[in-house]
Copies of this chain bind each other. A is one copy, B any other.
């Protein structure tokens, strides 16, 4: 078990922020990353479609033999984590729980903002998770979908005038609500941290799920005695469902290291292979 890889999937490149945090915290682990770049984005699509895609992504990774499934995509986590738990026996960690708990720890005055994709916000998963993590303490939660943030990041517009203007527009109601903590509920958003932080002001804590998720992954593996004890650094393999070179370009920028093994694969129909 110890030597098996951890499987991570995301709708595209955003989940690489989680992968990076995981490799910083657990450098000895072998990792398999799947980006469903042929069907990105998930955040504007319906629950039924996101569930179907998440099951196919998970089945692809499970069929490779993994000891832990990490759902890095916030939208897939919010909409499909219960379905994945029912369909797969492998231990599963989504970014929702760790992110919500990190926000609960960070808030001082109990005023928490949540920004995410339209689908994640509509699911209500983060507010529910934050209330649960804060209980019995009461919290006020202000949620806001920021649909243009993902395309901005995908286009590399993370520090431009356009990014600043879009951030000002989206974040105005959260500033007005005087939140003390802002949860970045989408894996793309940490790449806009500079712009978001400037807009919100220095007094607001920005929380992202990546580090918290890596910490919980470590705790889970440690409790089961499944941590990889190998001497060297673990390898990382990357799979994408679309061969577009844009993944390579953005991925190396996010990871800060060369990609190594990168392969285009077919993800669709993997639930059926799994069942058969």
Contacts and interface: CB of A to CB of B under 8 A. Distances in A.
A38 B268 CA distance: 13
Nearest to A12: B44
Contacts of A40: 44
Interface in A211-247: 241-244, 246
Contact of A49 (B157, B166, B242): B242
A47 B66 CA distance: 32
A155 B147 contact: yes
Contacts of A244: 44-46, 49
A90 interface: no
Interface in A140-169: 147-148, 150-152, 154-155, 157, 160-162, 165-166, 169
A74 interface: no
A181 interface: no
A48 interface: yes
Contact of A242 (B45, B147, B152, B268): B45
Interface residues of A, number: 29
Copies of this protein in the complex: 2
Contacts of A147: 151, 154-155
A166 to B, nearest CB: 6
Interface string A38-55: 111000111011000000
A75 interface: no
Contacts of A242: 45-46, 48-49
A37 interface: yes
The 4 A-B pairs at the shortest CB distance, nearest first, are namely A151-B151, A46-B244, A49-B242, A46-B243
Which of A39, A161, A166 gathers the greatest number of chain B CB atoms within 10 Å? A166
30 contacts: A37-B45, A38-B39, A38-B45, A39-B39, A44-B154, A44-B244, A45-B242, A45-B244, A46-B242, A46-B244, A48-B242, A48-B243, A49-B241, A49-B244, A147-B151, A147-B154, A147-B155, A148-B148, A148-B151, A148-B152, A148-B155, A148-B157, A150-B151, A151-B151, A160-B169, A161-B165, A162-B162, A162-B166, A165-B165, A268-B268
